[in-house]
Structure 1
Amino acid sequence: MTSLRPPHHRSTARRLPAALAGATAGVLAAGLVAAPAHAESGPASPLGTVARTAGHARFVPGPCPRTADPIPALKDAHCGTLTVPEKREGHEGRGRRITLAVAIIPAATKRHPGDPIVWLAGGPGDDAVSEIPMALKGGLNRDRDLIFMSQRGTYSADPELTCVNIDQFNARALGLVSNAPSTGRLHVRATRECRDRVVARGADPSAYDDTESSADLADLRKALGIRQWNVFGISYGTDLALQYMRLHPEGIRSVGIDGILPPSLAGGAVTWKAAREGFDGMFKACADQPACNTRYPHLKATFERLVVDLEARPVSTTVSVPGQPAPVKVVIDGGNLVNWLTSASHVAEGVPRSIDELAHGNPQRIAEQLAGGKYSPEAMGRTSHGLVYGVFCREWTPYESQEDIIRGGRRAFPSFPRSLLANAPQLAWLHDDCRAWDVPPADPSVRDRTVSDIPTLVLSGGFDSQTAPSNGAYVGRTLSRSTVVTVPYVAHVVFADSTCAQTMTVSFFDRPTAPDTSCLAGLKPPTFEIG
């Protein structure tokens, strides 16, 4: 199972963003653990040194959280922790308590409105604090303070429910046939081991989901004494943002969501739809570019033929990966090829050339990109699989059957075999994993559509093969004051890579009902590599 995660950096054409490279098991992974950064206390906090309580939640100012990589902006941050009940329903605040790290990055300007922006991370399972550099690169703190709170179970929370065994399995699974039953059994075994670790930490696996995370956000706003704030969520964070708007709308001035995952659709079927839309966006862009179309005609048909052929007759090769003592084996079958293209949308310039090379018997370029992501340090030991499975297994699988996934895949890709369609991109062995995770379903209302008049900016990318571009229009229909925008030629989470998207987002928080979208008129497609 992979996660719907945003890119942490712009990749070269030969290496995918590590947090988005395809995987066949667990949440996207692989690599070596980076040494945690030292916690930093930052300057004197405007919050003071006095703890604040809101209901059963308590905020205490203190040192900034640990991070897997150094984040210089934390030197100027105001930090602390929010302590909340692990599970609210039926416990009335008397049960186990958990701690969530909070970091507040001051606005770049001295004169700014009093309403800050709270950032909701991708994943599920990513740590919000680790995404501070992305937010600052996009200028989101130009006029407003930015608030980052680690979602429950994530890297800087206590307990942190990462499972390195799943990350290690993701790396080893690169050399396995992705849809083979034997791979599935190993996949589920890794999931059970993760669940055992979560329980051994004293955590309740059923307490890590959108309902509790939404309540955590509501408690944080009150504990910080903030009358009104803004919300910006990326990737899976859009799912959480929509739930938060539905469950706790009070105190929300405006909401930006980027890379839309509607809670009412979340699951394997919509992931197949996303792949279809994102792939077609890239194929069309090549067809519309004379040099690309001449050099790589019928690219869509070539790719789909390769998927079918390789699902029946996989090919394998070995590639060298930085930090690995020996070459690693990579199997390219139909499932791995689909997962590769899902992530390669972030480096679309090289996609036609890579497909063409594979069609002519050279898998190295694709194999190197797959291995570069799986074995990257960014893909090891940083994802909260406890939160991943809590969301997937409480909110998704109870409301979508395995046959629903297959039917969704068949609608999107009629030529693909059933063995491949059963494992949607990014969600391999989803139902098998959730049987092993063994948590009760969330209340059915978790699948309700969000109906709201809160001003909302709804952003999608034309090349987004992880969350379908059409999801933006879908959620916009029940958000009466929404601005729905698709940024062409950009992959999942447009804020990460598009200066136009960054400009629109900043302008939106200034004028939530009239963001500046004029930059869209000047966007041009990528220039595809001609090999």
Structure 2
Amino acid sequence: MPENRARHGGRTIRLTVVIVPATSAKPAKDPVVFMEGGPGGDAIGAIPFLIDSQVNRDRDLIVMTQRGGLHSQPNLACPEIDRFYAGAVGRRYDAPSTGRLLVRATKQCRDRLTAAGVELSAYNTTENAADFADLRRALGIRQWNVYGYSYGTDLALTYLRRQPAGIRSMAIDSVAPPQIVSLPWTWDSAAEGIDAIFRACAAQPRCKSRYPDVRRTLTEQVRRLEAHPLTVMAQPPGGGSPVKVVLDGGALVNLLVADGGALPAVDVPAALDELAHGNPQRFARARAAGATPAVGEFAYGLTNSVACSEWVPEFSQRDVLQAGRRNFPGWPDTVLAQAPQLPFQYEVCRVWSVPDRTAVQRVTTVSKVPALVVSGTFDAKTGASWGAYAARTLSRSTVVRIPGVGHWVVPQSSCAQRVLASFLAHPSTPDTGCVAGLAPKPFTITP
């Protein structure tokens, strides 16, 4: 692929493509192409989850590394940032000194990549979408179906808007609408997902009786830990020697938003109650998971090139703080000043230094292409309401909310898998009947 399509005759990049055959003896002719999240996630690493979810049951599955991702050339991994995050579990999450270390690691990565000739501004959603359009033509595919999750929905909606030819249907899972994605928006999603967990607890009699005011407990613990952080030793969930972990208010909140499996949503009320009574181990173990990152697997260079050109501009740090105050009144400003999952991003973007692309990227997708919009009610990264919001301008869309599931719904829900299969077979009339009987799993109740 061209690195920069506006620069004719310029440098080219290489992207890995994997085609996973359909398991059906008579597969449909229109394959499914997958768009990974992140930005910066490992698309090839997602293949086992896609196979387990039977995405390739009736159709071939096509997976391509996004530009800058693992298995692409160049790879915009930042081992410098991986090493920062490994050490950050033993530091205050939102302390200025932590931010300075992150900025230093980011600058080191940027300097290394640019010295190697990488044009960082070319790693954006517009070029990413054009890569997929070129792939369809290169493979000689007349029509295909698009499935993306998280940032992959931002990319998929951009692709549908800019390169609609050949798209038979589009399924988007855990939706980040391109016209909305920004740092203040992260607080809206965090509040929606966390509130859904608390409301689900209140709807289960045992959980409500054992944890009658979990929302107040969270506020109390965020305020307490931000004023007086805890330092404890904790063993990472994957095993190994215990590591030093610091729990402040920002770390606590981001563990709730991260939804990475180290702290399942069904354990959150119990974990908060234990924390309030002097036992921080559930949260400490979840924080310790960050001490052993897979160095080089996640492309932070792609993350920053997209975030700094498409998500950060047009909103200020003050806007982030105000969004945090609106969603979580009474929480400390030091916590609310940092966007969940993207701490110190304004300082990071000053050193990453890529041009503002919001005018071409922050645009609503309007389409008649059949669309399936899937969200999990416990998703605190991309709140479930944003799926319905994106669907307003997708005139042939079906919106599905799966109760009690967090980020990236399909691999977690057999019902969502059945709905996706039905949608691919009949995009205009998918069978969503299994959704009506769903409810969140019972919450963990401690003595």
TM-score, length basis structure 2: 0.97
State how far apart, in whole Å, the 1-side matches of 2:258 and 2:357 are: 30
Distance in 1 between residues matched to 2:63 and 2:196, nearest whole Å = 33
CA distance in 2, matches of 1:480, 1:95: 39
Measured after TM superposition, the shift of residue 517 of structure 1 is 0.6
Work out which of the residue numbers 112, 115, 121 in structure 1 matches 2:30.
115
Check 1:344–1:112 CA distance in 2 against 1; reply closer, same or farther (3 A cut). Answer: closer
Give the deviation of 1:304 after TM superposition: 1.3
Q: Is the 8 A contact 2:259 2:379 kept in 1?
A: no
1:322–1:419 distance in 2 versus 1, CA, 3 Å:
closer
Secondary structure, counterpart of 1:100 in structure 2: coil
Q: Is 1:371 the equivalent of 2:288?
A: yes
Q: Does 1:477 align with 2:392?
A: yes
1:371-520 matches, cutoff 5 A: 371-372=288-289, 374-376=290-292, 379-442=294-357, 444-520=359-435
Q: Which runs of 5+ in 1 are unaligned?
A: 1-83
* Distance (whole Å) between structure 2 residues aligned to residue 288 and residue 228 of structure 1: 45
Alignment-mate amino acid for residue 55 of structure 2: L
1:530 paired with 2:445, answer yes
Q: What value does the CA root-mean-square deviation take over the aligned residues?
A: 1.4
| Counterparts of residues 349-364 of structure 1 (less than 5 Å) | 349-364=266-281
Task: Give me the identity figure in percent.
Answer: 51
Work out which of the residue numbers 205, 210, 217 in structure 2 matches 1:290: 205
Q: How many residues align?
A: 444
For the 8 Å contact 1:159–1:201, the answer to whether it is kept is: no
Aligned to 1:348: 265
- Give the match for residue 97 of structure 2: 182
1:321 Cα shift? 3.2
Are the equivalent residues in 2 in contact too, given 1:125–1:388 (CA < 8 A)? yes
Show the 5 A alignment for 1:39-438: 84-89=1-6, 91-92=7-8, 94-321=9-236, 326-344=241-259, 346=261, 347-372=264-289, 374-376=290-292, 379-438=294-353
State the SS of the aligned residue for 1:400: coil
With the length of structure 1 as denominator, give the TM-score of the two structures: 0.82
Residue 123 of structure 1: CA displacement?
0.7
> For the Cα contact (< 8 Å) 1:163–1:385, is it kept in 2?
yes
Structure 1 CA distance, aligned partners of 2:259 and 2:391? 28
Cα distance in 1 between the residues matched to 2:300 and 2:337: 22
Tell me if the contact between 2:311 and 2:358 (Cα under 8 Å) persists in the aligned partners: no
Distance in 2, Cα, partners of 1:295 & 1:322: 26
Pair 344,294 (structure 1): closer, same or farther in 2 beyond 3 Å: farther
Task: Quote how far apart the aligned CAs of 1:199 are.
Answer: 1.2
Q: Flag the structure with higher helix content.
A: 2
On the 8 A contact 1:282/1:345 being kept in 2, the answer is: no
Residue 121 of structure 1, CA deviation: 0.4
Please say if residues 256 and 456 of structure 1, whose CA atoms lie closer than 8 Å, have aligned partners that are also in contact: yes
Q: Which amino acid aligns with 1:421?
A: L
Query: What displacement does 1:288 show?
Result: 1.1
Report the Cα offset of residue 400 of structure 1.
Answer: 2.2
Alpha-carbon distance in structure 2 between the residues aligned to 1:268 and 1:452: 26
**Shift of the alpha carbon at 1:345?**
7.8
Q: Which structure 1 residue ranges, 4+ long, deviate > 2 Å from structure 2?
A: 320-327, 343-346
Aligned-partner residue type, residue 192 of structure 1: K
2:182/2:315 contact within 8 Å kept: yes
SS of 1:399's partner is: coil
Deviations 1:384-407 (A, max 9, x none): 111111100111112322122112
